């Protein structure tokens, strides 16, 4: 099977690595509009070959589009206009409603499967790609009834091959869901990093940040703005709702400190501990 | 050398494990006011023996006090009243100014070294104790000129034996420092956990939280309220200052979303990326 991967960063690159490791059934052809990234992917032996995007679209049985979400909404309809009824297109973006809307009226809509493999790290580019990134993680397929059954099967088999669990979800529900479980975590981390960096500037000294739990909460603050700004742009309304709730909750802790109500403070922490039930 | 460890939870227990692994030069005697914890520590082979606190205070050359910070401020002065001039007492609490104040006028003040080994996990109790928790981490010794030179040497050698780097700091500076690098991270995590748990309750469904960066930012929300409430109580003023800055920074992201100013949003993320310089 010929797989074309457009965009060879963290996600596209990690997919390429896993497929190449699966053996000779898979021929992995890559494309990246950034020539340096394309050259890196080839040098790192992540793909069998690099081709122009137009060739990848012509030749691949399955076309995986792994570009930032602002590019997806233009690129997916363009690709759909160039393929035949035996080819399948999937995206891997973190927001799903905008790309579903952008393809809604397209005559080839049924060849497209809107997907979000929920895996990643705070790093980006071909050098960030790692094997087995997707194993045991969740892949959301959105509005599956808008895809042809055979396209859906191709996408499902593909993500299962990567080791993922498949979940079907309405695109708008998905976008609200990720505002809670991913997007707000990123803003919390960015703000934490900025708060400490500002203090460091004022105090003109380096804090020892390797300890004290700071590293894990701030890890996501290393995330690429080119990837994340379009995600926040597309998911603005949901993120604003969650952000308001988050600010309210933080403000509750503030009020309890001001009132020195440490009994309620203790109860709130105990309640937060309940997250163990969900993340183990 | 006889080491007495009072409080055999995550920190005291992890110290005990490392010392016992260092070999026969160290005799590790433990005490814990919770009999279940004392029995667990013995069953887990973390200490050579368990003794009543009063015996530990009598026999140990170095007494390590690893109880919650609200207990420390009473326990340290009591211990100092019972020791001779060849014994040394160190604490390992996350706040330092309150315990420094509580011992300031004590006739045996010079036998005490106020210490904060900056290491930990989100778990608590003897079962949370792990080997090598402190290796390559930073240990802050506060107001070292208030300690006798030999007591300070004993404390320094002890934490270096655990693999730590030693930093000297004024107690008030330390408390401001940890408000930034540790305490605010905990509140950010607690609030994130509560925001998602509240949404989960409303929606009556389980989110898939294993992916999407949520787990790492919310890890600290599992932290023990008995450990952490007294820390926030003692460091209230600094935490409030940092919390205000954090809420302001979060609110900047909110305002940019409302105004759809994604250029500035992008710049803020890029600025936050600068945290790489500090945490690598």
Q: pLDDT by residue (tens digit) across B155-176?
A: 999 999 999 999 999 999 999 9
- Per residue of chain B (280 residues), what is the pLDDT tens digit? 999 999 999 999 999 999 999 887 889 999 999 999 999 999 999 999 999 999 999 999 999 999 999 999 999 999 999 999 999 999 999 999 999 999 999 999 999 999 999 999 999 999 999 999 999 999 999 999 999 999 999 999 999 999 999 999 999 999 998 999 899 999 999 999 999 888 877 775 556 655 657 888 888 999 999 999 999 999 999 999 999 999 999 999 999 999 999 999 999 999 999 988 877 6
Of B170, B203, B235, the one marking the end of a domain is B170
Of B170, B189, B217, the one marking the end of a domain is B170
Q: Are residues B198 and B142 in the same domain?
A: no
Q: What is the per-residue pLDDT for B206?
A: 55
Residue of A177, A194, A214 with shortest CB distance to B185? A214
Domain count, chain B: 2
Interface mutation target, options A124, A212, A221, A253, chain B, most CBs of B under 10 Å: A212
The nearest alpha carbon in chain A to B257 belongs to A236
- A105 in contact with chain B, both atoms CB, cutoff 8 A: no
Query: Which residues does chain A have within 8 Å of residue B255's beta carbon, measured at their own beta carbons?
Result: none
Tell me if A275 and B120 make a contact (CB, 8 A cut-off). no
**Which 196-225 residues of chain B touch chain A by CB within 8 A?**
196-200, 206-225
CA-to-CA dists, residue B110 to B91, B95, B101, angstroms? 14, 19, 13
Of B170, B205, B221, the one marking the end of a domain is B170
CATH number at residue B210: 1.10.3660.10
What is the model's pTM? 0.92
Tell me if A247 and B254 make a contact (CB, 8 A cut-off). yes
Residue of B181, B214, B273 with shortest CB distance to A182? B214
Q: Are residues A100 and A190 in the same domain?
A: no
Q: Are residues B162 and B182 in the same domain?
A: no
Q: Are residues A185 and A143 in the same domain?
A: no
Interface mutation target, options A96, A133, A173, A180, chain B, most CBs of B under 10 Å: A180
Q: How far apart are CA A278 and CA B166, in angstroms?
A: 38
CA distance B165 to chain A (A): 11
pLDDT cut 70: percent of chain A above it? 96
Q: Other C-beta atoms within 10 Å of B29: how many? A: 20
Q: Other C-beta atoms within 10 Å of A127: how many? A: 14
CATH number at residue B145: 3.40.50.720
Q: Are residues B128 and B185 in the same domain?
A: no
Element holding A65 (H helix, E strand): strand A62-65
Q: Are residues A212 and A263 in the same domain?
A: yes
ipTM entry: 0.92
- A193 in contact with chain B, both atoms CB, cutoff 8 A: yes
**Which 240-269 residues of chain B touch chain A by CB within 8 A?**
240, 242-247, 249-254, 257-258, 260, 262, 265-269
Classify the C-alpha dihedral B76-B73-B167-B139 as positive or negative. positive
Q: Are residues B137 and B179 in the same domain?
A: no
Beta strands in chain B (DSSP E): 2-6, 27-31, 49-50, 62-65, 88-91, 112-118, 138-142, 165-169
The nearest alpha carbon in chain B to A196 belongs to B180
Q: Are residues A125 and A264 in the same domain?
A: no
Q: Are residues B133 and B188 in the same domain?
A: no
Q: Using the predicted structure, report yes or no on whether residue A211 has a pLDDT greater than 70.
A: no
Q: What is the per-residue pLDDT for B82?
A: 98
Secondary structure letter of residue A11 according to DSSP: H
CA distance A46 to chain B (A): 24
Q: Are residues B146 and B233 in the same domain?
A: no
Parent domain of B62: 2-170
Q: Using the predicted structure, report yes or no on whether residue A206 has a pLDDT greater than 70.
A: no
A200 pLDDT tier (thresholds 50, 70, 90): confident
Q: What is the per-residue pLDDT for A213?
A: 73
CA distance A169 to chain B (A): 12
**Which 152-191 residues of chain A touch chain B by CB within 8 A?**
167, 177-178, 180-182, 184-191
pLDDT in tens, A166-194: 999 999 999 998 999 889 999 999 999 99
CA distance A258 to chain B (A): 8
Q: Are residues A89 and A188 in the same domain?
A: no
Query: Which residues does chain A have within 8 Å of residue B116's beta carbon, measured at their own beta carbons?
Result: none
Residue of A184, A219, A270 with shortest CB distance to B216? A219
Is residue A78 within 8 A of residue A103, CB to CB? The reply is: no
To the nearest 5 percent, what fractions of chain B are helix, strand and coil?
Answer: 60, 15, 30
- B82, burial (CB in 10 Å: exposed 0-12, middle 13-18, buried 19+): middle
Q: Are residues A156 and A179 in the same domain?
A: no
Element holding A217 (H helix, E strand): helix A214-218
């Amino acid at each position: 099977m010929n797989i074309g991967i457009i965009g060879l960063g963290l996600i596209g690159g990690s997919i390429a690595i896993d497929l190449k490791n699966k053996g000779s059934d898979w021929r992995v052809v890559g494309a990246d509009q950034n020539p340096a990234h394309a050259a890196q992917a080839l040098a790192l032996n992540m793909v069998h070959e690099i081709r122009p995007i137009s060739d990848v679209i012509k030749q691949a049985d399955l076309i995986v589009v792994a570009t930032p979400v602002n590019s997806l909404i233009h690129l997916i309809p363009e690709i759909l206009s160039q393929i035949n009824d035996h080819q399948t297109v999937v995206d891997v973006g973190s927001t799903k409603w905008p790309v579903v809307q952008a393809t809604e009226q397209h005559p080839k809509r049924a060849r497209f499967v809107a997907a979000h493999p929920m895996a990643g790290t705070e790093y980006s580019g071909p050098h960030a790609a790692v094997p087995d990134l997707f194993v045991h993680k969740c892949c959301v397929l959105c509005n599956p009834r808008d895809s042809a059954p055979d396209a859906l099967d191709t996408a499902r088999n593909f993500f299962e091959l990567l080791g993922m669990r498949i979940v079907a979800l309405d695109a708008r529900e998905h976008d609200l869901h990720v505002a809670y479980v991913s997007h707000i975590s990123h803003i919390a981390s960015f703000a934490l990093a900025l708060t400490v960096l500002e203090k460091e500037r004022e105090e003109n000294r380096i804090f020892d940040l390797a300890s004290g739990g700071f590293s894990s909460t701030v890890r996501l603050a290393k995330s690429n703005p080119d990837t994340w700004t379009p995600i926040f742009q597309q998911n603005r309304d949901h993120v604003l709702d969650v952000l308001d709730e988050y600010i309210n909750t933080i403000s509750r802790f503030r009020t309890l400190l001001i009132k020195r109500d440490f009994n309620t403070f203790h109860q709130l922490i105990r309640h937060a501990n309940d997250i163990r039930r969900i993340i183990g």
